[in-house]
Amino acid sequence: MKTAIITDSNSGITQKEGKELGIFVLPMPFLIDGEPYLEDINLTQEEFYEHLKNPDTNVSTSQPSIGDVIDLWNEVLRNYDEIVHIPMSSGLSQTCATAEALAKDFGGKVHVVNNQRISITQKESVFDALKLLERGKSGTEIKEYLEATKFDSSIYIAVDTMKYLKKGGRVTPAAAAIGSILKIKPVLQIQGEKLDKFALARSLPKAKEIMKNAIGSDLKTRFKALVDSGDMTISVAHTANYEEAEIFVRELKEAFPAVPFRYSDPLSLSIACHIGPGSLAVGCVRILK
């Protein structure tokens, strides 16, 4: 069986990187003042944040059209026997549920993985899939492994401003106004399905301390066995916050010298749309050796 790996741009894997890896990356669509754009096709990270900074511009996320998904699958299946499709978390978008429904019409040739990850953790799922493919595993076996290990990851995100959480309806205007006055930086978490509130901080250093303590707790408790076996890693993500991300990388390497560091990547634009620029995140995720 010749198996293809497909993911979406929420993994943080660019179109160029996808070609280098030999995988297919479905670009996530955005609406900017009603006009459709595709991430990494006709919308770069830099252009996205320029639009997002404009208070009069309406930026929203969307899921790939049914036609685009079907067309991609049909095109790929001309040269492959089956597909392992790894979309963003089903808890953050209907993208996964739509793909699962569409796959029913492909006679078992498309295996949609619902492993409830995004960004740096979703990216690791893709690399795990490639390793399993190299070991001769079938699409069904790859899907089973990725879903069996889906909760072996966590992400914590420090948000620079409540402005975009307010726009997305995640906090009330009153709470956002108070947060702005007090310079509160919410710390959010992604544990499997959802993006939830974790803590509040009054400064970036305090927010980083909260995240380091949280990830440290996960490494000592939930993931202790994986840390002991050398199967757990740490990565950093951010929204247009490259300088702080590099500083955070150094701090994390110093704090957790026994845990291998993997990436420092921009967060997917689907999350960035709701939290805005200036955010900083840390994630830990199991890797397949």
Q: What is the pLDDT of residues 195-237, one digit of tens each?
A: 778 888 889 999 999 999 999 999 999 999 999 999 999 999 9
CATH number at residue 201: 3.30.1180.10
Domain that includes residue 169, residue range: 153-286
CATH of the domain at 144: 3.40.50.10170
Tell me, yes or no, whether 37 lies in a domain: no
Question: What's the helix, strand, coil split of the chain in %, to 5?
Answer: 45, 25, 30
Instruction: List the structure tokens of 263.
Output: 């990436």
160 and 133 belong to one structural domain: no
**Which of 148, 166, 195 is the endpoint of a domain?**
148
Q: Which helix (H) or strand (E) holds 238?
A: strand 232-238
Note whether 21 and 13 are within 8 A (CB).
yes
**pLDDT per position as a tens digit, 69-93:** 999 999 999 999 999 999 988 777 7
Does 168 share its domain with 194?
yes
Domain annotation covers residue 41: no
pLDDT digit string, tens, across residues 239-278: 999 999 999 999 999 999 999 999 999 988 888 888 889 9
Count CA atoms closer than 13 A to 224's CA, side-chain side: 4
DSSP state of 44: -
43 forms beta bridges with 39
Largest CA distance in the chain: 59
Within a domain: 272: yes
CA 154 to chain centre: 11
Q: Do 169 and 278 sit in the same domain of this protein?
A: yes
Same domain for 15 and 112, yes or no, is: yes
Per-residue pLDDT band at 193 (split at 50, 70, 90): low
CB 276 within 8 A of CB 163: yes
The last residue of a domain, from among 148, 169, 202 = 148
Amino acid at 213: N
- Distance between alpha carbon 99 and the CA centroid of its chain, in Å? 17
Give pLDDT tens digits for 114-132: 988 989 999 999 999 999 9
* Nearest-angstrom CA–CA distance, 76 and 176: 45
The secondary structure element, H or E, covering residue 163 is: helix 163-167
162, 134: one domain = no
DSSP string, 185-216: EEEEEEETTEEEEEEEESSHHHHHHHHHHHHH
147 contact partners, CB below 8 Å, separation of at least 6 = 113, 114, 115
What average pLDDT does the segment 10-21 reach?
A: 94
Q: How confident is the model at residue 166 (pLDDT cuts 50, 70, 90)?
A: low
What's the pLDDT band for 178 if we cut at 50, 70, 90?
Answer: very low
